Amino acid sequence: MRNNPNVYPAVAISIAKKKGANAVWVAKEVEDYFAKLKRDIFPPEVNFRIIRNYGKTADDKINNLVSSLLAAVLTVTVFIWIFLGWRAALVVGLAVPICYGITLGLDLFAGYTINRVTLFALILALGLLVDDPITGVDNIERYLRAGRYPRRHSVVMAIGEIRGALIMSTLAIIISFAPLRFITGMMGPYMAPMAFNVPVSVTVSTVVAFLVTPWLSYKLLKPSHEPTGYDITASGLFRVYAALLKPLLHTRRRSWIFLALIFVLFLVSMLFPALRLVPLKLLPYDNKDEFQVVVDMPEGATLERTHGAVRRYVRLAERGPDERIEVVSGLKPGEQVIVAKR
Mean pLDDT of the 82-90 span: 80
Instruction: Look up residue 303 and give its amino acid.
Output: L
Task: Give the model's confidence band at 285: pLDDT under 50 very low, under 70 low, under 90 confident, else very high.
Answer: low
pLDDT digits (tens, 9 = 90+) for 130-157: 888 888 888 888 888 877 888 888 888 8
pLDDT digits (tens, 9 = 90+) for 289-338: 666 677 778 888 888 888 888 788 777 777 665 544 444 444 454 444 44
Dihedral (Cα; 120, 124, 129, 130), 10-degree rounding? 110
Dihedral (Cα; 84, 87, 93, 97), 10-degree rounding? -150
Cα(67)–Cα(73) distance, rounded to whole angstroms? 10
> Residue 313: beta bridge partners?
none
Q: Judge contact between 178 and 199, C-beta under 8 A.
A: yes
Task: Give the model's confidence band at 81: pLDDT under 50 very low, under 70 low, under 90 confident, else very high.
Answer: confident
Cα(231)–Cα(206) distance, rounded to whole angstroms? 28
* Helix boundaries (H) for the chain: 23-40, 54-84, 86-110, 116-129, 131-146, 151-161, 163-177, 188-220, 236-249, 252-274, 303-317
Q: Under CATH, which architecture does the 55-230 domain have?
A: Up-down Bundle (1.20)
Task: Give the model's confidence band at 261: pLDDT under 50 very low, under 70 low, under 90 confident, else very high.
Answer: very high
Domain boundaries, the chain: 1-52, 55-230, 237-287, 289-342
pTM above 0.85, yes or no: no
| Cα 222-224-228 angle, rounded to 5 deg | 160
Strand order in the sheet with 326-327: 291-296, 336-341, 326-327
Local structure of residue 63 (DSSP, 8 states):
H
- The gap between the terminal CA atoms of the chain, to the nearest Å, is 27
Q: Judge contact between 222 and 87, C-beta under 8 A.
A: yes
CA atoms in the 13 A half-sphere facing the CB of 146? 15
Task: Give the model's confidence band at 115: pLDDT under 50 very low, under 70 low, under 90 confident, else very high.
Answer: confident
